[in-house]
Amino acid sequence: MKITPFTVNISDARLEDMRRRIRATSWPGDFANEEWRYGVEEKWLGAMAAYWADEYDWRATEAAINRFPNFMADIDGVPIHFIHLRSPRPNAIPLILTHGWPWTFWDWRYVIEPLANGEPGGPVFDVVVPSLPGYGLSAPLRTAGLGARQVATLWVKLMREGLGYDRFAAAGGDFGTIITGELGHGYPQHLIGVNLTTPALAGMDWYSFTREMYAPDEQWMIERTAATKLTIAGHMAVNVHDSQTIAYALADSPVGTAAWLWERRRAWSDCDDIIAYQGRDFLCDLASIYWLPNTVGSAMRIYAEHFRRDFLPLNDRKPMVPVPTGCMIAPKDLIFVPKTMAEKLVNLRRWTILERGGHFSPSEVPELVVAEYRTFFGALGQGNHQSH
């Protein structure tokens, strides 16, 4: 496996093309949409677009990314960008953190250094944060068939063959939680433990859940799921069945890309005002990391690759994930598994309901995520995980 240091350096021409296209957006007009009932409200989006084109500083973000050790790996012909920050202290726990859609690797930026540096007497981590195939800097993607199970296999090769960690820990959200669950299911001999936002595992039938399956103190999960159902329905239908078709529009229009991404960040975060909550620069970072490398189309492919095929267990082992498993549930996430079911599916060691946070917890409440990972993975012990 070839791994080389990597520096982010978007060309001036590409940046200027993005700004030109933002300024030249053909606005469709909007009315009676102050509450976003028809989608992103045009006045709000127009103000964000003006900031993105005229005030936002991509070079500052680029410099912040490049302050981390970035690398590019070729894994079976698939280019994978990743950050790899080793702890300055000994006996660090190798930990791979996997993002989802519409996340990027940059959603983890505020957890990487605290996990690597640790606190006196607490656990420390060698932190690996890859970009999913076809996302952001993991480009260009030319390999079909990469669903969550196939990405999990790539991650095992990266951690073991590329970085020399025979055993490692894993955590993630959204698609990252599916991939992390697959790691624990398919490769338990190499996993110290996994932390999931929800045990979204092979063979699960989300439509079989009934209200009675949820404990009295879990009834709020049903209400939250119902509240997000409409945004999830449109999102899934397009991304699974028409990702290439919509990619032409999104690749052509930075504002189109941003609208598609930002609507979900607003609907699925623990906030009423996404700008006040995460800031304009963070939202522009998100859209820029998708648009500048021209990966918004390839990023969406994972939906078709994963959801158009049967996703069944690899074996009949019970529980499906035998390695120690923690579940970290944010109150404004999207879908929820009852604790009683989680206890049947995984080797459940820890079940935590965060006091706040939504679908993007690492960027929303990084301090809570750091504390949870330290507590959960630290309790599993460190031992000898690195082979060389």
328 DSSP β-pair partners = 352
pLDDT tens sequence across 352-374: 999 999 999 999 999 999 999 99
Residue 341: pLDDT band (50, 70, 90) is very high
- Classify 197 as helix, strand or coil: coil
Identify whether 387 is part of a domain.
no
Identify whether 202 is part of a domain.
yes
- Is the predicted pLDDT of residue 388 greater than 60, yes or no? no
User: If you average pLDDT over every residue of the chain, what do you get?
Assistant: 95
pTM of the model: 0.96
- Is the predicted pLDDT of residue 194 greater than 80, yes or no? yes
Buried b (16+ CB within 10 A) or exposed e, 341-371: bbbebbbbebebbbeebbbbbbbbbbebbbe
Identify whether 33 is part of a domain.
yes
Q: Work out the average pLDDT over 150-170.
A: 98
State how far Cα 293 lies from the chain centre. 18
Q: Work out the average pLDDT over 272-292.
A: 97
- Is the predicted pLDDT of residue 299 greater than 60, yes or no? yes
Task: Give the pLDDT confidence score for residue 249 in this predicted structure.
Answer: 97
- Is the predicted pLDDT of residue 303 greater than 50, yes or no? yes
Residue 383: pLDDT band (50, 70, 90) is very low
Residue 280: pLDDT band (50, 70, 90) is very high
- Is the predicted pLDDT of residue 286 greater than 60, yes or no? yes
Identify whether 73 is part of a domain.
yes
Task: Give the pLDDT confidence score for residue 230 in this predicted structure.
Answer: 82
Task: Give the pLDDT confidence score for residue 169 in this predicted structure.
Answer: 98
Identify whether 292 is part of a domain.
yes
34: containing domain? 2-378
Cβ atoms < 10 Å from Cβ of 77: 7
Task: Give the pLDDT confidence score for residue 387 in this predicted structure.
Answer: 41
State which amino acid sits at residue 158: L
Task: Give the pLDDT confidence score for residue 159 in this predicted structure.
Answer: 98
Report the candidate in 307, 336, 328 with the shortest Cα–Cα distance to residue 228. Answer: 336
Identify whether 384 is part of a domain.
no
The total domain count for the chain is: 1
Q: In the sheet that 191-196 helps form, which strands lie side by side, from edge to edge?
A: 2-5, 70-75, 78-85, 125-130, 93-98, 168-172, 191-196, 321-329, 346-353
Task: Give the pLDDT confidence score for residue 108 in this predicted structure.
Answer: 98
Encoded tokens for 226:
């119902």
State which amino acid sits at residue 346: V
- Is the predicted pLDDT of residue 130 greater than 50, yes or no? yes
Identify whether 386 is part of a domain.
no
| DSSP state letters, 58-91 | HHHHHHHHHTS-EEEEEETTEEEEEEEE--SSSS
Residue 32: pLDDT band (50, 70, 90) is very high
* d(C-alpha 244, C-alpha 300), whole Å: 8
Identify whether 388 is part of a domain.
no
> 276 exposed, middle or buried (CB, 10 Å; 0-12, 13-18, 19+)?
exposed
Task: Give the pLDDT confidence score for residue 197 in this predicted structure.
Answer: 96
Q: Are 163 and 114 in contact (CB under 8 A)?
A: no
Encoded tokens for 7:
């520096």
Instruction: Tell me: cis bond preceding 133? Omega within 30 of 0 counts.
Output: no
* d(C-alpha 219, C-alpha 289), whole Å: 37
- Is the predicted pLDDT of residue 385 greater than 70, yes or no? no
Cβ atoms < 10 Å from Cβ of 339: 18
Residue 382: pLDDT band (50, 70, 90) is low
Q: What whole-number percentage of the chain has pLDDT above 90?
A: 92
Question: 306: domain CATH number?
Answer: 3.40.50.1820
- Is the predicted pLDDT of residue 205 greater than 90, yes or no? no
- Is the predicted pLDDT of residue 384 greater than 60, yes or no? no
Q: What are phi and psi of 221, to 5 degrees?
A: -65, -40
Q: Work out the average pLDDT over 57-85.
A: 98
Helices (H), the chain: 12-23, 42-54, 58-66, 109-117, 148-157, 175-186, 219-241, 243-252, 254-268, 274-278, 280-291, 296-307, 339-345, 361-364, 366-378
